[in-house]
Amino acid sequence: MREEYETRLFVEEPLADGTVVGLDSERAHYLRTVLRLDRGARLALFNGRDGEWLARIEGLGKGWCSLAVERRTREQSADADLWLLFAPIKRSRIDFVAEKAAELGVSVVWPVTTRHTDVARVNTERLRANAIEAAEQSERLSVPELREPERLEAILASWPAGRVLLACAEAGPVRPIAEAAQAFRGRPAAVLTGPEGGFSKDELDRMRRLDFVVPVGLGPRVLRADTAALAALACWQALAGDWTAAGSDSRPPFRSDPET
């Protein structure tokens, strides 16, 4: 039997049978004024730890809302072990990257400062808000970790053992990304994309000397930085990640769509 809910919300609080979750004024306003929900309306809640839970609006007023948690509809599952490291770009495009990376199942989003990076400041709180909204809409059970920006040199110096880094390089010898994805399937992985001006020669030379870095190409066309990030993630997910036969679509039909 298909159950229905009006929307999904990410919450920080623990979720369990019989608990009550209070919402802040902004989200209470969203439910009451934007969605025009009232007492008794059903919602799906998730927090990245306890799975997905069905809840009902128990009380709703101006600036407040309480949700009564009823029962779990999905068990928590592990995220795809895939990171995205990218050089910050202009505001609308960086927001787009954070949103789409969350939809594509990335577990860590990490802005990286490179030699040619033009953007001086990154609002990670805004990026996290975009990632949360994307997680709510895409029905994933978690929100990617948003890390504070760090210089490329420092990240490479402290890179975790066992994780392959696919560096999208626009110059020099590269391996086709499809070939690299299939070769490293089953390994913890990360994708790295550069700024609009590309990586410097020194940066590329340094990365090629590191055994955990695999320089990869994204075809014969020059892609914008945001396009390159999403193309690389899609290639990995399709060939080595949770879009493959080894992955699974575990979403149950807990949606308000008509029966099909």
Question: Across residues 244-254, what is the average pLDDT?
Answer: 52
Q: pTM here?
A: 0.88
pLDDT digits (tens, 9 = 90+) for 91-110: 789 999 999 999 999 999 99
Banded model confidence at residue 139, pLDDT cuts 50, 70, 90? very high
Strands in 8-10's sheet, in edge-to-edge order, are: 8-10, 42-46, 52-61, 64-74, 20-23
Distance CA 210, CA 23 (A): 47
- pLDDT at 197 (0 to 100): 86
pLDDT surpasses 70 at 249: no
- pLDDT at 259 (0 to 100): 41
Q: How high does pLDDT run on average in the chain?
A: 91
Place of tokens 């029905």: 139
Query: Comparing C-alpha atoms, which of 34, 192, 174, 32 is closest to residue 106?
Result: 192
- pLDDT at 33 (0 to 100): 93
State the DSSP string of the chain.
-----S-EEE-SS---TT-EEEEPHHHHHIIIIIS---TT-EEEEE-SSS-EEEEEEEEEETTEEEEEEEEEEE---PPP-EEEEE----HHHHHHHHHHHHHTT-SEEEEEE-TT-------HHHHHHHHHHHHHHHT-SS--EEPPPEEHHHHHHTPPTT-EEEEE-SSSS-EEHHHHHHHTTTS-EEEEE--TT---HHHHHHHHTSTTEEEEE--SSPPPHHHHHHHHHHHHHHHTSTTSTTS-----S-SSSPP-
Banded model confidence at residue 257, pLDDT cuts 50, 70, 90? very low
pLDDT surpasses 90 at 122: yes
- In single-letter form, the type of residue at position 72 comes to R
Least confident piece of the model among 69-83, 124-138, 162-176, 233-247: 233-247
Domains of the chain plus CATH, in order, are 8-74 (2.40.240.20), 82-239 (3.40.1280.10)
Highest mean pLDDT among 85-99, 116-130, 150-164, 234-248: 150-164
Query: Comparing C-alpha atoms, which of 193, 194, 203, 186 is closest to residue 232?
Result: 193
Banded model confidence at residue 142, pLDDT cuts 50, 70, 90? very high
pLDDT surpasses 80 at 245: no
